[in-house]
Amino acid sequence: MQHLMERAPERQCVYVADSAHFPYGEKTPAEIIEHALAATTLIVRQFSPRAVIIACNTISVTALPALRAAFPTVPIVGTVPAIKRAAAISRNRRIGLLATRATIAHPYTVQLEQRFAADCTIVPRADGTLIAFIEHDLFGASAVARHNAVAPAVSYFLEHGCDTIVLACTHFLHMAEDIAQAAGAGIAVIDSRDGVVRQALAVIAHETIGAKTSCSNTCNIEEGRKSAVSQDPVTDRHALSVGHILGNGTVYVSGFTRPADEAEYCTLCARLQLPFGGLLQ
């Protein structure tokens, strides 16, 4: 979300973490689809978003068809492993894939590998331990603790001769710098952020053109297309509704699994200078 806000500061964004059902990467496909549908239903009902970005590789490779079928009028942008980009930059054709167990095993990921990296060796590593560290311990962790958390994964990829590491879980973006430092010079550490943001902005731009054309032809603007902060009521229906958002970039969660979780989210939002909206129900 921060990457999107940096690229398009005029857009209003909210972030909803389905923390009540963490971790997604250890769930069955049916469970992933069930929880993703429930979370997206809540988002659409509360915020009438112009577009929804699924900032989770596991949900994207597993549930995108179901989400798009359930919400045909809402553009839904997925986040999938940056295997195509990795294959384009890897020199020795050995690529490390750091992801969840569900993402690694899903046929969609296998198709990406076959389509874009057929001449590469993909070295997968499912690291639920690192994901749990990021979810529960990262934002109070020392530099030594952060290094120790990423060291097993980085060592694994270096031992297998990888010159490129794909961060195929959005949790890992919080530790991209730690991973890059531990990997050292000459090892590329990449993710999907740029591609996802470009696609989201392209989708919104396409919808904007359609909205302007519709307004020109009919001179009728739907009330649902108006934003509380809009300068252009036709083109600026953002992901917000009056009374629900504390500010641009508000972070919400669906639940807490441990007593300390609320304090950790408060710490995270304070450090990132984002409003914390608490539970979204």
Could you give the residue numbers annotated as active site?
56, 169
Residue 153, C-beta contacts closer than 8 angstroms, at least 6 positions apart: 98, 125, 127, 130, 179
Q: CA triplet 10, 230, 51: central angle to 5 degrees?
A: 65
Q: Which of 230, 264, 280 is nearest to 47 (CA)?
A: 280
Beta pairing, strands 52-53 & 76-77: parallel
Spell out where 34-144 has E strands.
52-53, 76-77, 94-99, 121-126
Q: What is the 3-state secondary structure (H, E, C) of 20-47?
A: HHCCHHHCCHHHHHHHHHHHHHHHHHHH
CA dihedral 213, 216, 217, 222 (to 10 degrees): 80
SS3 54: coil
143-164 core/surface letters (b: 16 or more CB in 10 A; e: else):
eeebbebbeebbebbbeeebbb
